[in-house]
Amino acid sequence: MPNNQDYCRWGHQVLRTEIEALEEIAQYINQDFSDACQLILDCQGKVVVMGMGKSGHIAKKIAATLASTGTAAFFVHPGEASHGDLGMITKDDVVLSISNSGTSSEILTLYPVMERMGVPVIAMTGDANSTMAKLSQIHLCISVSKEACPLGLAPTSSTTATLVMGDALAISLLQAKGFTADDFALSHPGGALGRKLLLRVLDVAHQDEQLPLVTQDTTISHALLEVSQKGLGMTGVISDNGELIGLFTDGDLRRTLDQKLDFHCTPISEVMTKAPVVIEGNVLAASALKLMEDKNINGLFVVQQGKPIGALNMLDMLKSGVV
């Protein structure tokens, strides 16, 4: 029976083999790679990615990565393309066909049709002399010396090399297009990344009647009522002209208890935290989270020209999915 050392040794062997494979394909980031990037950048349509078997799985991931980084792309199954899905491809598109051997019959069957349509094809194969490589306008070599599978049968190093070459294409195009974090967020509105990149402070903050505020002359007892009613664990303190001049939190209350003050007579201005940390409303909610973590505070007031327009705490960040 294998022991722990055997499993770790085999695992390390796989990693070493695949790392060596990636070092091998570095030589293929060359003029052909640049030409492929430029062809896709100039494309007026979409990038249609296709592959069979394990190459098909990698092709789907490459299409997804391209699409999420600013290059319109989708996957077409070569077998289905022969039975009607070829209609999804237009003369304005670019086809990226993937096959380690470069002899996938399902893909080669489509080449005459794509040539007739005038659709340029970029082939990604492990054999520069393969039929697919020779029939395509551009060939991206992904040749590796050996698979990580000791039998040399299961696609392992070759699929890793293909995936990395696809990533190299996608990220090179991202930079060429000037694709930004905001652009990325727009294509990921439902995920955690999208929330962090799209949500602004005012999207999360409590506003209007939910905003806990008292004037500087308000007594501590009435300020505590405001804290309790609004449920944010704090209240802002405003001046006569409506500017935020202080903050009173649950932590301030604990410190105030030691002073043995008369809560019914003492104005909140005597015990509030002056010049509190604040944030602007158009800032990303993720930036507000970082500010709270850096300052070791649980809440923030949102201000505009010194006047409070919103408030939020760490619980709001959790509910919004920013954390």
Q: What are phi and psi of 151, to 5 degrees?
A: -80, -15
CB 237 within 8 A of CB 272: yes
- The answer to whether position 194 is within a domain reads no
Which has the closest alpha carbon to 125: 105, 141, 146, 104? 141
Lowest mean pLDDT among 63-67, 130-134, 179-183, 236-240: 179-183
Q: DSSP per residue over 211-259, as a string?
A: S-EEETTSBHHHHHHHHHHHTSSEEEEE-TTS-EEEEEEHHHHHHHHTT
Model confidence band, residue 203 (pLDDT cutoffs 50, 70, 90): confident
Which residue bears the tokens 């850096």?
Answer: 294
pLDDT at 181: 67
CA distance 150 to 9: 13
Which has the closest alpha carbon to 158: 201, 125, 198? 125
pLDDT at 64: 94
Q: What is the CA radius of gyration of the chain?
A: 30
Percent of the chain at pLDDT exceeding 90: 69
Residues 148, 206, single domain; the answer is: no
Residues 25, 174, single domain; the answer is: yes
Give the distance, in angstroms, between the CA of residue 42 and the centroid of all CA atoms in the same chain.
25
Q: Quick one: which H or E segment has residue 71? A: none
CA distance 277 to 292: 9
pLDDT at 194: 56
Residues 172, 35, single domain; the answer is: yes
Model confidence band, residue 156 (pLDDT cutoffs 50, 70, 90): very high
Residues 118, 253, single domain; the answer is: no
Residues 172, 32, single domain; the answer is: yes
- The answer to whether position 252 is within a domain reads yes
Residues 39, 159, single domain; the answer is: yes
Greater confidence (106 vs 199) lies with 106
- pLDDT tens string 18-47: 999 999 999 999 999 999 999 999 999 999
The whole-number average pLDDT for the span 145-158 is 91
CB 108 within 8 A of CB 100: no
Which residue bears the tokens 């990580």?
Answer: 148
Residues of the domain holding 288: 201-320
CA distance 123 to 48: 12
Residues 226, 150, single domain; the answer is: no
pLDDT at 319: 82
Count: domains in the chain? 2
Greater confidence (186 vs 302) lies with 302
pLDDT at 256: 84
Which token pair is 8?
């770790």
- CATH number, domain of 287, equals 3.10.580.10
Mean pLDDT, all residues of the chain: 90
- pLDDT tens string 94-122: 999 999 999 999 999 999 999 999 999 99
